[in-house]
Amino acid sequence: MKRKNIHIMCLQETRWKGEKAKEIGDGVKLFYKGEDSRKNGVGIAVSESIKDSVSAVRRVSDRIMSLRMETKEGCWTIISVYAPQAGCPEKDNDEFYVALDDVIRSVPDDDFLTIAGDLNGHVGTDRRGMERVNGGRGVGAKNEEGERILDLAVAHDLAICSTFFAKRESQKMTYCSGGRRTEVDHILVRRQDLKAVKDVKVLPGEDVATQHRPLVADLSVLLPPKMKERAEPKIRWWELKGPVKSELKRKVLATGLPNPEGPANETWRQAAQTILNSFEGQPAWQLDWDKGEQSPRIEGQLLRGVFQVEGSRDHCSKDCS
């Protein structure tokens, strides 16, 4: 993902059990869903730069899951899908498309919607009556599973992105096995958002799994900027010279604290005494001092509570002297 500058990757047939989110290296965070049988399984991997923008994750089944994130222009919902293979019972296909239909309907109308995954169907090149959702630049003839994909696209006004881009055959085929080459993986967006899709193609030399090749879409989505970690303010003691040093010394003495030019240990002791004297009605602290039990630990705690100082006592003594 990092090498190809990919921000979102939808995964299918992961065969991991359970439903978790975990870091998998290079700052990438993986959200996934699977069953104990270790069959099927889906996931969505998010790059380091936008993983903190994820606002919701919905794990529907080991074939469908969705993720929603904040962008500069609103929200983006990504659905990772893994349809039953050809030859599976009709009931499995029906259940899959009913569940997917429900998930799509639950997505707010103003969300940028992306559906990506192994849909195990050929949509073909024939676009008659379906010009709005099928660009006609698919591969070969559509099959029964492809008909289901097209029906879903028409029902929700979704564009099958790869069919709107002319590419070499090597950049179309997502599955290759024993001389058989097909296009079964698809990326869909709302038809009104098709203009945000700048390119769709297969990366031939990037086999991420046996027989499968990754299908990549270049989308124009304004992603949120990476949040910078807020650094704690630091005092640059080594830069205390000339007028700046004199002014700091004046301010320290004005508070009643000891002269910072003195020995470090004595300066700390006097500073702790000054701070302790400013507290009233604190019998626990007063008791230690009344008994003559001066505590370096208490001194240090009090001073650290008042000043956030970086560097050792010797360093401070040298720079302030």
- What the chain holds in terms of domains, given with CATH numbers, is 8-219 (3.60.10.10), 237-320 (no CATH)
The residues, ordered by sequence, that sit 6+ positions from 239 with a Cβ below 8 Å of its Cβ are none
| pLDDT given at position 206 | 72
**Rounded Cα–Cα distance for residues 146 and 120 (Å):** 8
Question: What is the per-residue pLDDT for 255?
Answer: 72
Distance between alpha carbon 103 and the CA centroid of its chain, in Å?
Answer: 21
Name the residue among 256, 9, 34 with its Cα closest to residue 114.
9
pLDDT at 208: 66
Reported pTM: 0.70
What proportions of the chain, in percent to the nearest 5, are helix, strand and coil? 30, 25, 45
pLDDT at 256: 72
Integer Cα distance of 273 and 250 in angstroms: 19
Can you give the pLDDT of all 321 residues of the chain as single tens digits?
A: 888 899 999 999 998 889 999 999 999 999 999 988 888 999 999 999 999 999 999 999 999 999 999 998 899 999 999 999 988 999 999 999 999 999 999 999 999 999 999 999 999 999 999 999 999 999 989 999 999 999 999 999 999 999 999 999 889 999 888 778 889 999 999 999 999 999 999 987 776 667 788 999 999 987 776 555 666 666 666 676 778 777 767 776 777 777 766 777 777 777 777 766 655 454 444 444 444 444 555 445 544 444 444 344 444 444 444
pLDDT of the residue at 275: 64
Q: State how beta strands 112-118 and 74-82 pair.
A: parallel
- Residue 53 and residue 40 in contact, taking contact as beta carbons nearer than 8 Å: no
pLDDT of residue 295: 52
Residues 6+ apart with CB under 8 A from 93: 83, 84, 145, 148
Distance of alpha carbon 211 from alpha carbon 214, whole angstroms: 10
In this structure, is the dihedral angle defined by the CA atoms of residues 284, 288, 289 and 295, taken in order, positive or negative?
negative
> Nearest 5°: phi and psi at 29?
-110, 130
pLDDT of residue 183: 93
